[in-house]
Amino acid sequence: MTAVVQSTAEPQAPPAAGGARSGRRKLSRRTRSSLTAYAFLAPGFALFLLLIIYPMIKAFQMSFYDWNVIAGAASEFTGWKNYQAAYHDPVFWRGLQNSAFYMALTVPPQIVLGLFVATLLNNRAPARALFRVLFYLPVVTSWVVVSLLFQYLFADSGLVNWMLHDVSHVTSHNISWLSGRWTGMIAVSALGVWKGIGWSMMIFLAALQGVPKELLESAEVDGAGRWARFRAVTLPAIWPAAAFVTVMLVIGGLNVYISVALMTNGGPADSTQVLLTYMYQQAFTNLNFGYGAAIAALLTIGVFILSAIQLRAFKVDQEDLA
Amino acid sequence: MTASSPDLLARQPAPRPAYRRRRGGVTAPALRYAVLIVGAAIMVLPFLYMVSTSFKSQTYVLTLPPQFIPHPATTANYSQAWTDNDLGRYLFNSIIVAVISTGLSLLLSSMMAYAFARFAFPLREVLFKVLLLGLMIPAMMLIIPQFVLVKDLGLFDSLGGLVLFYVGSSLSLNTFLLRGFFQAIPGELEQAMQVDGAGAFVRYWRLILPLAKPALATATIFTFLGSWDEYVWAVTIINTPTKRTLPVAIALFHGQNSTLWGLVFAASIIAIVPVVVVFLLFQRYFVQGLTAGAVKG
């Protein structure tokens, strides 16, 4: 979803030496140049087509089959049956709800807190580099490790319960976080926010470099308060970055997998299934590949639609602000 | 969106606000640091607690109140992870897979980036857009067809199957990143070489690659860490215990010995120490890679 500015590269100008040339020779030079380009492109692009594009198409195809995993065995074409099955499957809908719940619980805090920390760090501060590293540490740590770590912290006699119950007496008893639907999703979301703040902070820090200082100062001279300055100067300047962060976080939220798989594995009794844990279990535990592919296809379409809506919404707002 | 720095609050309009800012109001900076310190503590304390637990024996991992300083401290978890649980083997597998994937991916994507950045050819924009599709589609969406494909290719349950797909899934981002950098290299240098009779490959190898070292460093770090941390694909296609990579091994430590937290965290720390070191040494390349997408937009 990275917004790409298609800066068209200057086509390589042929060397000026040699004076006037016939059109035919120019053409052959151009063809030769194209062939060179294709030669550079071929190995990587072929691999890309085989490993990414072909599976993309294959995924949609598989979703219309009762797919047989055994190599060589025939698979039966079943039309929309896998999609109908999803429509009538309560666990699929619960997975969708849980994914949406995770998104709602993780995306806004990551944006707000990431931007907040970035503004705190933006002004020249002595320990700025240190803080940046500390906030970014969870981002570079693997999902596997931090998922296990949070499972440990949210264990029945773990650190979180100790702090909530024994230290601060916020809760009257120890909460069994990972054995309930909502508490489990909250624990997983806590991990998502904790791991993600550093990332959005980094993007916003880079974007804040582009806020015109003169405008901020002249707005201040004109008596604009700090909220007014933020709205009128800072926000428009970081708007593209905010759009990027939001779109990426929404996609990431819908794609939550490893943390749920390792912390609750969708349990107990499918209560904390998210779309991808359910897809994975359908495919690789139940060997229901066609159904898994249908869930993946639905999710892909959902991601594309949501991203398109967001990009559009951000653009409209930007014009409003300007 | 209510965020803005407290020290802006206390400021008066002034000809040289930069000076006033630091001198004026003691409370605002103090508050700012208090918030930052609390935030940083929340980020770091879980790691320190993990380190602490990795030095505890099983009896003490979930005691109430929790032990922050392990007492008695033991290194048994580390030696057990290393000797009884074959961690050295998994570390070796992870290094091999990550190094080969990174090398191949950088070679292939820098060649593609060179073609996209420096040549005009039919379908260039179309092919580039197709390549960018790879940035948009999340890896998990393709795991089912890729699983079928890796079986068809005869690479199921092999490190080769890991390498191939790690390369494939990193091509889009790396090509995108490198293409941007290559375009910024002045064309005159290349034309001068061309006049001297240097062919395209020589120009790519002798001129473009050496000049693009910062971008190559960024791509190297991201690809290496991506392969190093990858879990889902590895746990899906690797069956043989001796072929496991570190993330798979750690997750399975956890599964097999569901409460041996000391052991799990000792292995985790062995896995994340190289990552943290690389991050600390090459921070600026992380920032470049991260913002390449955001700022250009």
Neighbouring-strand partners of residue A76: A66
The nearest CA of chain A is from the CA of B23 a distance in Å of 13
Q: Does residue B141 share a domain with residue B39?
A: no
Q: What is the mean pLDDT of residues B271-286?
A: 85
**Between residues 235 and 294 of chain B, which touch chain A (CB distance below 8 Å)?**
236, 247, 250-251, 254, 261, 264-265, 268, 271-272, 275-276, 279-280, 283, 286-287, 290-294
A102 and A264 in contact (C-beta within 8 Å)?
no
Q: How confident is the model at residue B24 (pLDDT cuts 50, 70, 90)?
A: very low
Task: Write the DSSP string, A285-319.
Answer: IS--HHHHHHHHHHHHHHHHHHHHHHHHHHHHHHH
Q: Is position B1 within any domain?
A: no
- Considering the domain boundaries, does residue B195 fall inside one? yes
- Is the CB of B232 less than 8 angstroms away from the CB of A3? no
Residue A210 has pLDDT above 90, yes or no: no
CB contact A22 to B (< 8 Å): no
B135 and B175 assigned to the same domain: yes
Final residue before a domain boundary, out of B60, B80, B100: B80
* Contacting B residues, span 87-126, partner chain A, CB-CB under 8 Å: 108-109, 111-112, 114-122, 124-125
SS3 at position A104:
helix
* CATH 1.10.3720.10 assigned to A90-321: yes
Residue span of the structural domain in which B168 resides = 82-296
Q: Residue ranges of the alpha helices (H) in chain B?
A: 17-23, 27-54, 76-83, 87-118, 124-136, 143-152, 159-183, 187-195, 200-203, 209-211, 213-229, 232-237, 246-256, 261-281, 283-296
**Which residues in A lie closer than 8 A to residue B181 (C-beta atoms)?**
none
Q: Report phi then psi at A74, rounded to 5.
A: -75, 145
Q: Which of A60-69, A96-105, B118-127 has the lowest mean pLDDT?
A: A60-69
Q: What is the 3-state secondary structure (H, E, C) of A161-209?
A: HHHHHHHCCCCCCCCCHHHCHHHHHHHHHHHHHHHHHHHHHHHHHHHHC
Backbone CA torsion sign across B219, B225, B227, B231: negative
Residue B292 forms part of a structural domain: yes
Q: Is the same domain home to B164 and B24?
A: no
* Tens-digit pLDDT profile for residues A127-176: 888 898 999 999 989 999 999 999 999 988 888 888 888 888 788 888 88
Question: Where among B80, B102, B126 does a domain terminate?
Answer: B80
Same domain, B272 and B129: yes
Question: Do both B153 and B225 map to the same domain?
Answer: yes
Q: State the Rg of chain B over Cα.
A: 25
Q: Are residues B87 and B177 in the same domain?
A: yes
CB burial class (10 A; 0-12, 13-18, 19+) of residue B14? middle
B179 in the same domain as B50: no
Same domain, B266 and B216: yes
The rounded mean pLDDT for chain B is: 84
Q: Of B65, B112, B194, which is closest to A162 when you measure between CB atoms? A: B65
- The SS3 assignment for A76 reads strand
Confidence class of residue B72 from pLDDT cuts 50, 70 and 90? confident
Domain presence at residue B196: yes
Q: Is B57 in a helix, a strand, or coil?
A: coil
B146 and B227 within one domain:
yes
Query: Which of residues B80, B101, B117 is at a domain's end?
Result: B80
Cβ(A134)–Cβ(B43) under 8 Å?
yes
Number of domains in chain B: 2
What is the tens place of the pLDDT at every residue in A278-315? Answer: 999 999 999 999 999 999 999 999 988 988 888 888 87
Domain ranges of chain A: 90-321
The pLDDT value recorded for residue A10 is 41
pLDDT over 80 at B265, yes or no: yes
Do B96 and B43 reside in the same domain of the chain? no
CA of A281 to nearest chain B CA: how many angstroms apart?
11
Q: Is A66 helix (H, G, I), strand (E, B) or coil?
A: strand
Which position has the higher pLDDT, B259 or A321? B259
